[in-house]
Amino acid sequence: MNNPAAFGPRGTFAMIVAGFVSFIILLMWMGTGTPQGNNGGAHGLGKGISGYAALVAMLSADGHPVEFNRMPGQIGGPEVRVLTPLAETDTKELARQLQMRRAGVGPTILITPKWLTGPLANDPRVPPDARRRAWARVFGAPAAPAGWTTIWGAQAPNWKGVLDNVSVHLGYAKAPAAHGWRSADGASGPLPDDRIVLSGGGMDDNEHPLIPLVRSGDGRILAGYFPDGGAYPALDAMAGVAPTGSDTSIQPLVVVFEPDLLNNRGMANQATALLARRLVLASMGNTRRQILFDVSLAGLGASKNLLTLAFTPPFLAATICLILAMAGSIWRGFARFGPARAGAPADRVGRIALVEGGAALLLRARRYHLIAAPYAIAARERLIVALSLPRRKSADETDAAIERVQRAVAPGTTPFGEVAARLAGAQAPGTITAQAAELHNIETALGHINRKPDRP
């Protein structure tokens, strides 16, 4: 049995186009679910005062491959990893990453936070009812660029469980001036704020003392590394000390206490920018490595979106197979020969299954005699309908009426009542089959009398 197509070609094509467009929109939505990078924070994507976007731009322009990591808990590989955690970061995760990377994974630069910043448009020092100039009242004040920030204050980090033997000190607004920064080779430069300076000192958990890389003019350590036995010739040369180790299986940890040496505010000075470049290159041993800025510890952690993952090996092969299978299904749907073929009605299939199941049960139970009498009764009912005999008569009266018709139409056959009685009393399978076949022959001979002829 054939069915006309449920949808025409145009309707089918419209459904396919709508589904494809919805799928593309879903992929775009999944691909844009990461937090905004330029939010004014102190990280590699921040373009505000405390961010490090200028350092990223300088290193990229210098030919170094620079990437960003948003995956929380990822240790990374042999690249130089720049960590810019928040003051209230997860200290257990930070300590784990520092320990594992120093154990041979790759060089690490840890920049401690100092400035408390906020959006430039929300600067609390500017009264909301401040008088505007005439042109500003007419045209409105220009909006601050996205990501620009203003400094509200300063705070030293308190990371319990992370380099507990290292102390940090934050200067205050009326503290003595630091007189800029100095390096061991004689380079020097100014600090954006010469009084609110973050410095440190001490040793790591294995009691390796901090070696200064950059000091303030009055001798405070602004950046340094730990001589833990690793081979760090570039750092040793920048610090102006003799080689501190030869173990190549250990990777350096450089701690930059004063973020103004690397952030956007400090990079406005050429000498400070060149110092920042030297710090990064010395951390990688003056070799060619990838530089990875971690932004997950700065509050921008996000799992890898499915759109990027679908087109990244080894999942790219599965994506290609899925696209080809979808294209093949579409082509097969349009190239189908003939209309769809409808299956058998569900009620007919159910009756067949019911009869087959009942017959199998009788065969397994060997209760053949249970079907003999019902078959005779069913044959009698069918003949009543076929011969248009009156209902509500006894079985004997009905059999007599059937036999009168039988003598006129098929005089050589055994009377219906006699065959029905023998079938009802049969027990053996062979006898039941023979009597049922004879009864079926009588029914076949008499059943065509009142049948309407087929129309031409």
Segments making up each domain of the chain, as ranges:
1-33+305-343, 53-119+144-303, 350-446
Each residue of 379-434: pLDDT tens digit? 888 888 888 888 888 888 888 888 888 888 888 788 888 888 888 888 888 888 88
Query: Which has more pLDDT, 120 or 179?
Result: 179
Q: Is 214 left (phi over 0), alpha (psi -120 to 50) or beta?
A: beta
Round the average pLDDT of the chain to a whole number and report it.
Answer: 83
Share of the chain above pLDDT 70, in %: 82
For 215-225, what is the mean pLDDT? 96
* Of 206, 204, 224, the residue nearest 214 (C-alpha): 224
CA atoms within 13 A on the CB side of 339: 10
**Residue 453 pLDDT more than 50?**
no
Q: How many whole angstroms separate alpha carbon 430 and alpha carbon 425? A: 13
377 in Cβ contact with 421 (< 8 Å): no
pLDDT of 121: 64
Is 449 a residue whose pLDDT tops 70?
A: no
Question: How far apart, in whole angstroms, are the C-alpha atoms of residue 360 and residue 277?
Answer: 87
Pairing of strands 221-225, 211-216: antiparallel
291-294 vs 80-83, strand pairing mode: parallel
Q: What letter does residue 168 receive in the DSSP assignment?
A: E
Query: Partners of 212 in the beta sheet?
Result: 224
Residue of 293, 280, 260, 239 lying closest to 85 (CA atoms): 293
Is 149 exposed, middle or buried, given 0-12, 13-18 or 19+ CB atoms closer than 10 A?
buried
The answer to whether the beta carbons of residues 113 and 145 sit under 8 Å apart is: no
3-state per-residue secondary structure call for 329-375: HHHHHHCCCCCCECCCCHHHHHHHHHHHHHHHHHHHHCCHHHHHHHH
Q: Does the reported pTM lie above 0.75?
A: no
Residue 257's pLDDT band, with cuts at 50, 70 and 90, is: very high
Query: Which residue's structure tokens are 């087959």?
Result: 356
pLDDT of 30 over the 70 cut? no
Query: What would you report as the CA-atom Rg of the chain, rounded to the nearest whole angstrom?
Result: 46
pLDDT at 125: 56
Beta-sheet pairing, 253-256 with 108-111: parallel
**Is 351 in contact with 411 (CB distance < 8 Å)?**
no
Interaxial angle between packed helices 372-387 and 416-425, expressed in degrees from 0 to 180 and rounded to the nearest 10: 160
Distance of CA 239 to the CA centre of its chain: 46
130-144, 346-360, 379-393, 410-424: lowest mean pLDDT where?
130-144
Instruction: Please report how many Cα atoms fall inside a 13 Å half-sphere around the Cα of residue 334, on the Cβ side.
Output: 13
Report which listed range, 108-117, 315-324, 325-334, is most confident.
Answer: 108-117
pLDDT in the model for residue 135: 43
Residues 162, 92: Cα–Cα separation, whole Å: 8
